[in-house]
Amino acid sequence: MHPLIEVPALDLLLRRQTPVVLLDVRWHLAGPPGIESYRKGHLPGAVFVDLDQDVAGPPGPGGRHPLPEPVAFEAAMRRAGVSQDRLVVVYDDADSMSAARVWWSLRYFGHDRVRVLNGGYRAWAETGRPVSGDDPEVKPGGFIADPGRLPVLDAEGAAELATAGVLLDARAPERYRGDQEPVDPVAGHIPGARNAPTSSNVGVDGRFLPPELLRERFAQLGATDALDVGTYCGSGVTAAHEILALHLAGIPAALYVGSWSNWVTDPSNPVAVGDT
């Protein structure tokens, strides 16, 4: 299944009353809680999913957004109405930075029918399509979590991949270089990682670049389908966006879920600064 769906295609499905589970996963690293945006307006029938509570485990040595326990993720998705046999469409404000983590998580836990709304809530609302402020009635789903369906990396694997393959750091350049670190206690990057900010995966409208442009972008960074590729970020959220962009470019990749927030918990892990 193609990982993206455009606004007109989703609108057509809903008008035809095709069974679709809509998940609103608006989330802001340093901004207001996503539930506030949801209450101001969301796609009709969409259920709010809290990225911190529903899509990640408790923060700790595993990172700020580690993988949740299968039973916890299964329960959260069931509360949202998710079942294996129903299409799930995930969206956030516009750029899919948080929606991609839910897309990745559902696929990791065994759901194959998941798509991200390209351009998110903004793309839907800007067309004049209806929005709602009501909480929908949700019939609990029957989703069964089956973890391990996508490749993941731990700290050791990420370090190996940085030398034996291609490890992409999805954070902003100033965090990669170590110029500033607003969230984690140590600034810098994993030695050998190459900076590939997720902001360059999308246009100004928040929609993903065409696959050919994404392939060109990643090729310039040395990432192709001929090599082992992995991604990380601060806590495994925007790195999932990188996974989605790589997928669109035809390049399979593994996610270091713990990412930098896990890497720096071990003082023996080396830290690099600067542009390389």
CB contact set of 197 (below 8 Å; sequence gap of 6+): 170, 171, 172, 173, 176
The catalytic position among 4, 90, 99, 233 is 233
Q: How far apart are CA 142 and CA 157, in angstroms?
A: 34
The verdict on whether 233 is a catalytic residue reads yes
- The residues annotated as belonging to the active site are 233
